[in-house]
Structure 1
Amino acid sequence: MKAYSTFKTLMIVTSLLMVVVLTGCSSITGGDTTRFYALSALAEAKPLSTQQLRLGIGPVKLPRLLKHPQIITRKNQHEIKMAEEHQWGGSLKEDVTQVVADNLANLLGTKQVEHFPWKQHFKPDYQVRIKIQQLDGELGGKAILKARWWLRVANAGKDKLAEHSQYSVMVKGSGYASYAASLSELLRQLSVEIVGRILAD
């Protein structure tokens, strides 16, 4: 009888341990449902210039709201949603900087593009500073980019121009991959405007 009681106690303890272990495993693997996304630069196209310009990109600033890893979407003008299971694969600030840099490099046909802060020996012909004010939207709705940006010419000592740009596109789909693609398109439009101003200089 005593042996049976001991066996029963061991079974209860074992069962409790299994519950604890399984609960722990569930907590650890719970993140497996999270999906990660990245922005993309435009595909390589025929360059609009053959000057091999040197470009310095940055600083690029984002609002605090966009510094979270969770993807931000809007439910309406005043309500936002932070998607725990849909996140950026890295720093959105770095992603935006890289995409704009790649876009400008492709459009201008140059490989001499550096991010701020660049090394002392690099002397850009043009420096582009960007302050993103809004980069979000609704799933299946409209995505919006509002940005201020400044263009400085080498050795000018001051900004040649300061612009306030706004773009919008419809998100082609209700998923987060389509949403990320729409944000990439907005950055492409901004890049095209910047290139136009550089070539007009």
Structure 2
Amino acid sequence: MKIKSLSKIVLFTAIVGLLGACGQLIPPSTPTTFFRVTQSPIMTKEIVAPALSAKNIRLGVGPVQIPGYADRPQIVSEGENGQLIVDDLNHWAEPLQDNLERVMVSNLGAMLGAERVYPFPTSFHPDRESLQVAIEIREMIKQKDGKVRLLVSWNVKRMLDNSLLVRGSANFVSNDIAVTYGAYANSISAMLMHLSKKILRSIEPKI
């Protein structure tokens, strides 16, 4: 009996030691890092289209469409020969489409007046001063050279009769290389600021 008990103790000790050694060999898991696109702080109360601001125009922003490859939690960047690199450890903090739409509403609201800009669709009775801004982001990526590209088009319609008011497009490429994903998100934030200005300036001559 003593021999059997001693054997059990030796076996148990060996198992505990083996488990401890395995624990030392397995490194701790790398945590996922989350990013988001934000409104630029310098947008506050900036007026870029004075004639438009003087009118009683209301803007409904949406939909904001994004490329299929970008419509995922992971951040995607460009590789060689058309390859896309999906980073499983660096994610957007929320659905990217929702994030971009909210930033565009905030940007346009900062320039035109927050009470006059809202997500579209929404429940209200439109009049002739009510406009819809639909945005299509065709490319949004960190290129293989490290620079950030945002290719976007938009159209503006009168909500009352769905008549087309203006079409526009823009191609933004950063001057600086985005070394980190934080820098990538900041570049997109800055580009959305410039996009918001372009959209308002494209509407102003048509009103």
Shift of residue 129 of structure 1?
0.6
Quick one: distance in 2 between partners of 1:139 and 1:184?
20
Normalising by structure 2, we get a TM-score of: 0.80
Shift of residue 10 of structure 1?
2.3
Question: Deviation per CA, 1:70-104, whole angstroms, max 9, x where unpaired?
Answer: 11122346232222222111111111111111110
Quick one: distance in 1 between partners of 2:86 and 2:56?
41
* Number of matched pairs: 195
Structure with bigger gyration radius: 2
1:79 to 74, 80, 83: 83
Query: Unaligned 5+ residue runs, structure 1?
Result: none
1:94 to 95, 98, 101: 98
> Is 1:108 the equivalent of 2:112?
yes
Question: Deviation per CA, 1:24-76, whole angstroms, max 9, x where unpaired?
Answer: x97xx6252x2111111122133342546422111111111001211112234
What is the letter of the counterpart of residue 8 of structure 2?
A: T
Q: Which residue in the other structure is 1:5 paired with?
A: 7
2:37 to 17, 36, 39: 39
> Is 1:69 the equivalent of 2:64?
no
Shift of residue 140 of structure 1?
6.7
Identity among equivalent positions (%) equals 23
Residues 155, 165 of structure 2: 8 Å contact kept: yes
2:124 to 85, 104, 121: 121
Shift of residue 173 of structure 1?
4.5
C-alpha RMSD over aligned residues? 2.7
Quick one: distance in 2 between partners of 1:170 and 1:73?
17
Quick one: distance in 1 between partners of 2:203 and 2:168?
13
Shift of residue 144 of structure 1?
1.3
Query: Unaligned 5+ residue runs, structure 2?
Result: none
Shift of residue 117 of structure 1?
2.8
Aligned to 2:105, what secondary structure does the other structure show? Answer: helix
Aligned to 1:170, what secondary structure does the other structure show? Answer: coil
Aligned to 2:192, what secondary structure does the other structure show? Answer: helix
Shift of residue 122 of structure 1?
5.5
